[in-house]
Amino acid sequence: MTGTSRPERRARGEPARVLVVDDEADIRELLDLTLARMGLSADCAATVAEAKVFLARERYGLCLTDMRLPDGTGLDIVRLIGAEYGETPVAVITAFGSADNAVAALKAGAFDYLSKPVALDQLRTLIKSAINLPARDLDLRNVGDSRAQLIGSSAAITHVQETIEKLARSQAPVYISGESGSGKELAARLIHSQSSRYAAPFVPVNCGAIPENLMESEFFGYRKGAFTGADADREGFFQAAKGGTLFLDEVADLPLAMQVKLLRAIQEKRVRKVGSATEEPVDVRIVSATHRNLKDCVDAGTFRQDLYYRLNVIELRMPPLRERQEDIPPLVESILARICEGSAPVLAEEAERALCAYSYPGNVRELENILERATALCAGKRIEVDDLQLLASTPNDEGICRAGETLDDHMNRVERQIILDALAKTGFNRTAAARALGVTFRSLRYRIERLGIEE
C-alpha cells in the first residue's frame, strides 16, 4: 500500500480485533458491547476515511461495516479490504429488506451480511464463523490436499480449483452450473471442506427426488402432531446442516410454492417448522446446482427471478469433460485404481486413444461407468477397445434426418434409442439407467413416458 506500512500479523493465540464502521453511535455501542462480551476488542469508525486510518495501522480479524456512510458506502470498504487487506473478512450491515445491497456486497467480496435491526444471535454466529476463518494460505488448519480430488492439470480445471479456494473464504451463496456428471457435488464438498464450516455437516439434498407434498417438512422439519403420522418432533435439512453447508442439487426441480418458502428462509436466515407458531434462526451456507440452464428456467417462468439472484450470487461453472480432454489419462488412472483397489488392468493403446477421443455426454460419471463395465468385461489384465463399448454415432442413420422426418421426430428417435440401449444394458433398472445416462431419475421417467417406452 503506497505511503504506509502494512500492519504486522497478530501473534498466534492473541485475540483478534474487530473494526466496526457505522455512523450511528448506538449501533457502534451495541456492536462494541457484543464483541466485548465475546472476549473481543474493537475499534470504531464513523466514516470511510476513519476506517482507512484504522486499517492502515492495525490488522483485524473481522470488519463489520454499515452500507450507508457519510463519505461513501460499505462497498467502498469491502473493495478496499479485498484489494489491500485480503486476510480480513468483512461483513456488511444492510437496511431491512434491502436484498439488492446484500447481494451487491457479497458479489463485491463480503464474507456475509446482516440486516437491520441486527439480531444478536445472528451477529454472534457470524462473528464466531469469521474469527475462525483459516488464513488465505490455509496453513492454520490441516485440510489435506483437497485439490487432488479434482484430478487434472488443464487450464479449465485449474481455474475451478483456484476459484474454489476463493469461494471457501466467503459465506456467499454459490451456484454451481454444469452438465450432468461434471462434478458439481464434488465442487460443493470441496468448498465446504476448505471453509470455516469444515467441522460442521455437509448436507446434500436432491431437490428432484422429494415428493412435493413433503418438501416443506423435509426442508424445515415439523412439530409433533402437525399432521397425521407426525408422532414426534423432527428436524429438517436446514437444522441438520446447522453451522455447515446445505447443498441443493437439481434446485431447478423445486416447485414454485417451495421456491417462495426457500427464498424467505435464505433472506431472513430463519425457518418455521410445520406446526410451529414461531421461527427459529438457522446458520447454514447455501450452495446450489443444476444441470439445467437456470436463467432459461427464469425466462420460462418455472423458476423465480428473486430466488435466482439470491442463489446465484457467485457462479462456479464446472467444465464438461470434452473441454479438458488432457485430464482424461490421469482420471482413468485414478478411477481404475479406485475400482480395482490396487490391481487395476492396463489400457491397450487403442483403448486409451478411444477414451481420449470420446465426447462423454455423461462427463466424468460416464467415464466411471465405462471403466467399471470394461473391468468386468476384459479378459485378464488388459482392457481392449471392444471392452469399452463406447456409444458410436452412425452418420448415415443417426447423424441426419430420414426422408420425410422432421427435426423433432429425428431427435425423439435418437433419444428413444439411447434410452432403450441404456435400459437394456441395466436390465430395465431405471435408477441404474438414469445414472448411466447422467440424468436424474425424475428426468428419465418423464422422458420414458413422453416417448412411450414400455418394458
Q: What is the dihedral of CA 169, 172, 178, 183, to 10 degrees?
A: 40
The domain 321-391 having CATH identifier 1.10.8.60: the answer here is yes
What is the CA 170 to chain-centroid distance, rounded? 12
SS3 at position 247: strand
Q: Which three cell numbers stand for residue 301?
A: 417462468
Are the C-beta atoms of 180 and 439 separated by less than 8 Å?
yes
Distances, alpha carbon 63 to alpha carbons 17, 80, 93, 101, 116, in Å:
9, 12, 11, 17, 17
Same fold flag, 152-317 and 321-391: no
Alpha-carbon Rg for the chain in angstroms: 26
Please name the residues in contact with 134: beta carbons below 8 A apart, sequence gap of 6 or more.
Answer: 140, 141, 143, 169, 194, 196
Domain 152-317 superfamily per CATH: P-loop containing nucleotide triphosphate hydrolases (3.40.50.300)
Q: Per-block average pLDDT, block size 10, for the chain (455 residues)?
A: 49 71 91 88 94 92 93 92 87 75 82 83 84 48 47 92 89 92 93 90 92 92 87 92 94 94 92 92 94 91 94 93 92 89 84 89 89 86 88 47 58 80 80 82 81 75
Domain borders along the chain are 17-131, 152-317, 321-391, 393-455
Residue burial 307-325, b: 16+ Cβ < 10 Å; e: rest? bbebbbbbebbbbbbeebb
Q: Where are the alpha helices (DSSP H) in 38-167?
A: 48-57, 74-84, 99-108, 120-131, 155-167
* 3-state secondary structure (DSSP) of residue 118: coil
Phi then psi for residue 91, to 5 deg, are -115, 145
Round to whole Å and give the CA distance between 442 and 250: 11
The pLDDT assigned to 12 comes to 47
Classify residue 303 by its DSSP letter: S
Strands 72-73 and 68-69: antiparallel
Q: Which helix (H) or strand (E) holds 427?
A: none
Q: How many C-beta atoms surround the C-beta of residue 39 within 10 A?
A: 8
What is the domain class of 393-455 according to CATH? mainly alpha
pLDDT of 405: 54
Model pLDDT, residue 113: 84
- Give domain 17-131's CATH superfamily: Response regulator (3.40.50.2300)
State how far the Cα of 112 lies from the Cα of 124, in Å rounded to an integer. 13
pLDDT for 141 = 34
Phi, psi of 250 (to 5 degrees): 50, 50
Contact, 332 vs 367, CB < 8 A? yes
